Every structure is written in C-alpha cells, then in structure tokens.
Structure 1
Amino acid sequence: MTAAPVLVAARRTPIGTAGRGFADQAVDALAAPVLAAVAAEVASAGLPIDDVVLGNCMGPGGDLARVAALRAGLGASVPGVTVDRQCGSGLEAVMQAASRVRAGDARLLLAGGAESASTAPHRLWPDSGERFTRAPFAPLGFADPDMGPAADHLAAVRGITRDRQDAWAERSHRLALAAQRAGRFDRELVAVDDVAIDDRPRAMSAPLLARFAPAFASLDEASGSGTVTAGNSCGFSDGAAAMAVTLPELARELGLPALRVRAAAVSAGDPALPGLGAAPAAAAALDRAGLTAGDLGFVEITEAFAAQLLAVSDALALDEAVVNTDGGAIALGHPWGASGAVLLVRLAARMLDADDDRPGLAACSIGGGQGIAMIVERAA
C-alpha cells in the first residue's frame, strides 16, 4: 500500500533583489539556514533524514544539495541531490521527494530550491551559435527565446494588453505590501545574516507603471511595440525555500499542520511560447486529481511576467480572485531555482491559515516550453 506524501514545515528566506542584501551570499549559504530550520522542526520525531533534494539552475555546479546539507549541520550521513528543471526546479525537487515517499523508498526528505542571481557564474556555451550567459533552452534549429522577448510575443499572440499587465503588476505589489505589513510572511521566513524581510515590494500605481518603456523588442513584427516592461516583470533575485516531505503519520506525531500531495504533472510544448507551459501541466494535474479549475480555492503561479501569468490564467479559466493573493514574483522577486518551492511555501501559509478546505495549485512555466504543476490539499 502506497503512502500519501505530505509537506510540513515549509520555510523560505526573504527574497532579495540581486546585488542587494544577499549580494555576497553563495547559493549554499542561502539554502543552509532554511534546511537547518526545517530539520529542527521535525527533529523530535527521531527519524533520520533520508535525503535532501534541491532545485537549482544557475549555480556554481556540483551538488548544491549535499554542500548545503553539510553547511546546515545535518551531518555527514545525510546525502543530497540537485535537480534542474530551470525555474521549475524547486517544485520538481519536491515532486521527486514526494514520489519517493509514495513509493516507500523514503520516509523523511527535505526538498526545495535555491538560487543566487548575485553570485551565479557567467558562462559561455559556444555550441549555441551565440554568446549566452545561460544554457540554451533548446538546441540549434528550435526556437530558443529569452523569457522576456518570449513574454512579449506571448502577450501579442494571446491579446494581453499593456493595461492589463500593468494592472496585474500593481495588484502584485499592493497585495505583497499589505501581507508584509500585516505580518503574514513572518512565520515562513528564515532570516539570513540579519536580512529578515523581502526587499522588493513597493508602492506602485497605474500612472507610474505606464511610464515604463517596453523592455524587449517584440518577436512578432506585426504586433508593433512591446508591452512587457520592467514594471510588469519580476526582478532578478536571490533566495531559498524548503520543506519536509514525509509520511502523514509523522506529521500527526509531531502535531504539525500538513498539506497532502494529491497530484502532480509536467508538460512540454512549443519552445517559442515558454510562458504558457504551466497551463497544460496544471490541466493534467487537475485531471489526475479529478478536479476542475473551479474547485481550487488557492493558486500560486510564478509571476515571471504578468503576460505569462495572465495567459496561463486565461487558458485554465482560473478565478483570479484566488491567484497569488499575497502578491507574487513581480512584487517579491523570482529566484529561479527556488521559485517553485516558494510557491508551495506560500500555498502552505495561505491554506493552513484559512477556514477553507478547497485544494490548492502551484504551477510554473519554464524556459524551453516546459511546465510543472502540483495539487495539494489540507491533510486531516
């Protein structure tokens, strides 16, 4: 009989804009305090940590998870493995950990993601045909746009206006500021070197956002000037997030509130439209869970660009009143390899505090046309 995996003790660092509070922090130095905090919360169960699974996509190479586990003081006997599904990496790490618990191959894992845009090395991939400072999302012969121009193209293809994108960006900042001032982020945060709050949310207005110039040339020459700006996009960011993935009986023994992993899915599609990738992944996860979009009470989608989020929301016919209700990556930042795990931390905070038993969705669109999604629900 397979076990239904649960997520407990979901924590994250503050998200720092690249070059600011975490400018000198290596990526393992961001991950280690979060791992230590999660491990401390489940330590009284007396179970060994079977593995640490971390997502990362722009780090220094090597096995970040093992290095961070050692730095966190988890002990030399705790292994670690690092996974890369680009900006879906943190969610992929939790999905892999949940699959191992469900299969009976592990009882307690720590999983999440970490990224340091500030300290990520610059590299050259000569086979790409151009000088990239990122690995190619697709080989020569396929579309391989950067995410910004691709978001502009997606907005043109799907008819998502500049006004609508700016309105979403204003909403993201407004909701994040309100959540920060009300202390709704406090319980999930692990301070690192005296950085204790997210530094990006700020007061935005429609007139201010309207002043931003288009940041990217549109890939569709017929569409005219672009609509994606620095104002309706995320920032380059540093941060980490993690949680314990374990058996429901362990959560009950510890008296910890938990989210049960009900379903998960990955998808792939046109590399030219990477911002849409979360939609088919979410649709597949909903189908596996026997749910519709209307059954969801909580949704967290990575706001790399307002255009991407709105395209996914439209494709799934989501109730936008339940999407990113404490703001998203436009306001908080997008630490690539950590962002999928940040979504789950935010879902846990929202769902476990609410008098609402409806399930939640976390979903990411990924460079190269992939998507990843997970459905969670409150465990009894």
Structure 2
Amino acid sequence: MAQSSRLRALQHKNADDVVVTMAIRSPLCKAKKGGFRDMRSDELLTEMFRQAIKHSGINSEIIEDICVGTVLPKGSTYEARSAALAAGIPESVPIQTINRFCSSGLVAVTTIASEIRAGQIDVGLAVGVESMSWNPDVGPDAASDEIKACGPAADSLQPMGWTSENVAREFSVSREDMDEFAARSFQRAEAADKAGYFAKEIVPFTAYQKDTATGARKRVTISKDDGIRYGTTKDTLLKVKSAFPQWPPSRTTGGNASQITDGAAAVLLMTRRKADELGLRVLAKYANVAISEDVDLFEINEAFASMYVHCVRKLGLDPEKVNVNGGAIAFGARQIATGLNELERRGGKVLVTSMCMGTGMGAAALFLGEFQ
C-alpha cells in the first residue's frame, strides 16, 4: 500500500525533530522468583542508569533532564536521585519521577519529548523501572466517605482485576477467546526468544542474588528474560482456575493476565540537530499523529487478555501487526525498546505503542522508524 501524504509529511526531517537515539531494556524477570528477586528497587534503577550511560554514546553531563516512570517505591524521587548519582550522573543533571501506573514509562518518554519540543532542553533521558519483588502493590488506602458516595470516584479505586472482568462481561469476551490470545502471546514470545530477536534490545544486568547456603549476596549477570512459559497452549491455560471468583464472570486467570515482573528500560531523546552534532544514530522520530492504515506494528500492553481482545476487535486491528513477539502476558512491559527493535528487523516505518492504566485512563505514542 502506498504511503499516505500525511505519513510522508510526518517523515520529513527537521533539525527540531524529537528523535530517539537509544532504546534499551533489562531482562524482565519474575517477581519473587526470577533473576532480580533479591535486588532492591534502587539497585535495579542504579544498574539501569549505568547501562544507559554505557550505551548512550554521550557524556552524561549533557543530559539536561531525566524523567523516571515508577509506581511502587514509597520514596520514588529519593530513589531516582540517589541512583543517578551512584551511577555516576553529575549532580548538575536534574531528575523527576512520574506515576501514571502501567503507562509510567511511556509518559516519562512523552514528558522528555515535550520538554525537547518546547525548547526547554535538547537532550533528555526517560526511564521506566519497577521491582514488584521489593515493592509489592498493596492497593489504595481506605477512601473517605465523600469518595465512597461518588460512583465514578469509588470505581476509580477498584483493582484492575475487577476492571478486566467488567470488560469481559460488557463486551462479551469469552474465556476461550482470552486463553487463545494468551497462548498466542506466550508462543510468539517463545519463538522470538529462540530466534534471538530480544538480544539486541536487552542489555545484560549485574544483579545481586542470595546464596542459598550462606545467605550472603553475590553478583551475577542476567541477560535473558525468565518469565516466558515455553510450551504454553490454549488447552493448558483453560485448566487454570479463575483469579477473581468474587467478580463474575470470573474469566481472568494467572495464565491470561500479565505476570508480576521486575525490570527496567531507558530511552534517550534529543533534537535531530543535537544527534547530528554528536554523530549519533537515529532510531526513530517521536510523533503524535498518524493514519491508522500506515501503522506497521502495534505494541499494546497486555495487562489482561480481556482488554487486548476487545481493543483488537473494536479498533479492527490486524492481529499479525499487534504484539508480534508476545507481550506482558508473556513477560511484562518494555514496549518501546521491543517495538523499535522489531520495526527495524522488519524494515517498517510506523510503531504505535499504547498502555492501559489504573483509575480508568490510558496512554499512547507514535514513533517513525529511521534507523540511520
């Protein structure tokens, strides 16, 4: 299909374009059981900063702002600032944190891109990080009587499992459809892992693990995701019990919802002018509009299969373009690094990444691949 005039206009290169010059991620590991189970969240973030500096191709002194998307740490800005300093980023580089639940990492990228587009900075680093081992999600505190009396306000405090069941019921998403999709997510992730597709986006992480004999912590290198369940089929998933029997129709299970995960990702953004000045390879241009038929790949956060199935149906998306290497059901969210890596491998041009989040919100972003 010929590219639309709108897409050709978006692809026009200007010195003030916001571009991505690095998109990397850690391995994604099962919380409580995986490779990062004994690693503090501030240690995970410190290592992500170290790897970002190592792979950025720049002196960290020229970074003008850092935005860290993270949800669970109680002192997130303290963790972010101290981790940056411990990783060797100068005191002169400011940092901020943002919490928008599942989309926090994506919104961190959008925040940095907006600062660059507004002319506030030329170079910025966006990071997403979460350790569900170290900071388990305990949910909201008890609500006030005023909030309880307001239907939408009270609903916004409900857990996402409740939302998943509502979606399944209201939009007639069957358990069979959910498990069929979930199985495909695992199978795609397994195939991509075996083919080595993730190797380019994953940077090996130095982690700490406890010695089972002595209890002492030792340093190990983690270089692969450990949450992909090889050999998963629809039939095996249909045997898994409901995770939320208290909320009819109770179709969500531990097999068709995202696992709890420890991991991190980093994206370096700057003006095209600055990338050219520094001699850096441009991976993609950050944009905010597109024509749907021009999209080569979609990365949708698979928090729950009910949501994914409904989105694909409602939007009329081609399943062969959506989460082609699996998604959060298989191993967690890391969508920009994975999406751009696969876009380059396919020789594609347009990536759309979107994420649901708690409290009834969502977020999306568009990237135009260049891979100079």
Deviates more, 1:69-78 or 1:236-245: 69-78
Distance 1:41 1:99, change over 3 A: same
**Which structure has the greater CA radius of gyration?**
2
Q: Is 1:5–2:18 an aligned residue pair?
A: yes
- Retained in 2: the 8 A contact 1:34–1:240? yes
Deviates more, 1:161-170 or 1:44-53: 44-53
Q: What are structure 2's unaligned runs of at least 5 residues?
A: 1-13, 146-150, 208-220
Structure 1 segment 72-151 matched on structure 2, within 5 A: 72-120=87-135, 126-128=141-143, 141-151=154-164
Once residues 23 and 239 of structure 2 are traced to their aligned partners in structure 1, the CA distance between those partners, rounded to angstroms, is 38
- Retained in 2: the 8 A contact 1:39–1:244? no
Once residues 183 and 256 of structure 2 are traced to their aligned partners in structure 1, the CA distance between those partners, rounded to angstroms, is 8
Shift of 1:128: 2.1
Q: Is 1:366–2:357 an aligned residue pair?
A: yes
TM-score by length of 1: 0.82
Shift of 1:305: 0.9
Shift of 1:129: 6.3
1:262 to 283, 287, 307: 287
Q: Report the equivalent of 2:294.
A: 295
Q: Is 1:198–2:225 an aligned residue pair?
A: yes
**SS in structure 2 of the partner of residue 3 of structure 1:** coil
Q: Report the equivalent of 1:378.
A: 369
Deviates more, 1:55-64 or 1:237-246: 55-64
Number of equivalenced pairs: 335
Once residues 139 and 357 of structure 2 are traced to their aligned partners in structure 1, the CA distance between those partners, rounded to angstroms, is 21
Q: Report the equivalent of 1:23.
A: 37
- Render the CA deviation track for 1:153-201: whole Å, top value 9, x for unaligned: 1011111111111111111111111111111111211222212111011
**SS in structure 2 of the partner of residue 185 of structure 1:** helix
1:343 to 335, 339, 350: 335
Q: Is 1:316–2:303 an aligned residue pair?
A: no
Q: Report the equivalent of 1:328.
A: 327
CA RMSD of aligned residues (A): 2.3
Structure 1 segment 240-251 matched on structure 2, within 5 A: 240-251=264-275
Once residues 176 and 92 of structure 1 are traced to their aligned partners in structure 2, the CA distance between those partners, rounded to angstroms, is 25
Distance 1:62 1:149, change over 3 A: closer
TM-score by length of 2: 0.84
Distance 1:165 1:123, change over 3 A: closer
Q: What are structure 1's unaligned runs of at least 5 residues?
A: 131-137, 264-288, 334-338
- Retained in 2: the 8 A contact 1:299–1:324? yes
Q: Report the equivalent of 1:278.
A: none
Shift of 1:44: 4.2
**SS in structure 2 of the partner of residue 216 of structure 1:** coil
Q: Which amino acid aligns with 1:87?
A: C
Shift of 1:34: 2.5
Structure 1 segment 261-280 matched on structure 2, within 5 A: 261-263=286-288
Distance 1:36 1:228, change over 3 A: same
**SS in structure 2 of the partner of residue 261 of structure 1:** strand
- Retained in 2: the 8 A contact 1:153–1:218? no
Q: Is 1:211–2:233 an aligned residue pair?
A: no
2:64 to 26, 37, 50: 50
Q: Report the equivalent of 1:170.
A: 183
- Retained in 2: the 8 A contact 1:49–1:109? yes
Distance 1:164 1:96, change over 3 A: same
Shift of 1:27: 1.7
Taking only the aligned residue pairs, the percentage that are identical comes to 29
- Render the CA deviation track for 1:189-248: whole Å, top value 9, x for unaligned: 12222121110112201221111111113645xxxx421111111111111001101112
- Retained in 1: the 8 A contact 2:109–2:127? yes
Once residues 93 and 44 of structure 1 are traced to their aligned partners in structure 2, the CA distance between those partners, rounded to angstroms, is 20
Once residues 158 and 72 of structure 1 are traced to their aligned partners in structure 2, the CA distance between those partners, rounded to angstroms, is 47
